[in-house]
Amino acid sequence: MTSTLLKELYVRSKRIIEEYKLMDERVHVTVKPLNVEEAIGKPSMNEYALLKGKEVMVEATFRRFRGQAFTNTPKSFSGLLRDVFELNLSRPWNRSIFIAVLNAVMVYLGLTDRTVHCKNDYPLTCGYELALYLRKANVSRIGLIGYQPAMLKNLSELGFKVRAADADPDNIGKVKFGIKIEPADADEDIILWSNISLITGSVLVNGSLDEILLKYKDKIILYGISCAAPAKILGFKRWCISKENIRL
């Protein structure tokens, strides 16, 4: 575990769980990979990474509260909370377990919210509300790190200047909603160019932008459910309007 961001998240979250005396209890936590319909329903757009099999969702349950995280290296887990903090977080599958579990525990404690992904066409509503929010904030140049079709569609249609990047080679170089998708090595350049950059919470799972997130924290908004608890704990701005049920 070499990332400054990950170390900070680990230390702060462990302190919270110890403060609530959950670490010493025999608490059972499970994580399971979700199929596409469980994770995102049946949206009319077919551009989402989940629908293409590029990513899957894992879901942790803690005292019947749910926390999810995106990953392309899913792995199931069952054990105590103390076991979660003994995982090797340099491994991406362990990071997805850690993030999903953290989301479930923090929403149980009332310290975060919106830990379950919205379904069907609600992502389009999310993208539209985001565009309206940024318009009211007088933001003109938007960076989008992690191709999110509903967001890109609405930002483009409402006339923002947008640059977008993605790590998926199937997206790089393609024109989506009038915007050419740039490679992931353009991430920092896009952030510097933008007034605000929207960055998928999945980067917390894959660890690809840990140092960049800290470097440009003031001009970053994390989006999605993977970053629910981490954004709260680390003090990042976050965008998510999901209304999905967080309890089983």
Among 103, 90, 96, 52, smallest CA distance to 73 is for 96
Question: Are 128 and 226 found together in one domain?
Answer: yes
* Cβ neighbours of residue 134 closer than 8 Å, sequence gap 6 or more: 142, 155, 160, 196
Whether 162 and 225 map to the same domain: the answer is yes
- Rounded to whole angstroms, how far apart are CA atoms 29 and 23? 12
Domain identity same for 232 and 139: yes
Indicate if 141 and 36 belong to the same structural domain: no
pLDDT, tens digit, 9 for 90 and up, residues 163-212: 999 999 999 999 999 999 999 999 999 999 999 999 999 899 888 888 89
Whether 116 maps to a domain, the answer reads no
Query: What contacts 226, CB < 8 A, 6 or more positions away?
Result: 68, 69, 70, 99, 103, 200, 201, 202, 204, 205
Domain count, the chain: 2
pLDDT of 51 strictly over 50: no
**Whether residue 82 is found in the same domain as residue 141:** no
- Is 114 contained in some domain? no
Q: Which domain holds residue 73?
A: 4-108
pTM: 0.91
The predicted model gives 78-104 an average pLDDT of 94
* 127-157 tens-digit pLDDT: 999 999 999 999 999 999 999 999 999 999 9
Tokens standing for residue 19? 């403060």
Q: What is the chain's mean pLDDT, rounded? A: 89
Cα separations in angstroms, 3 against 9, 10, 124, 132: 10, 10, 34, 34
Query: What is d(CA 14, CA 86) in angstroms, rounded to the nearest whole number?
Result: 11
Does residue 103 share a domain with residue 135? Answer: no
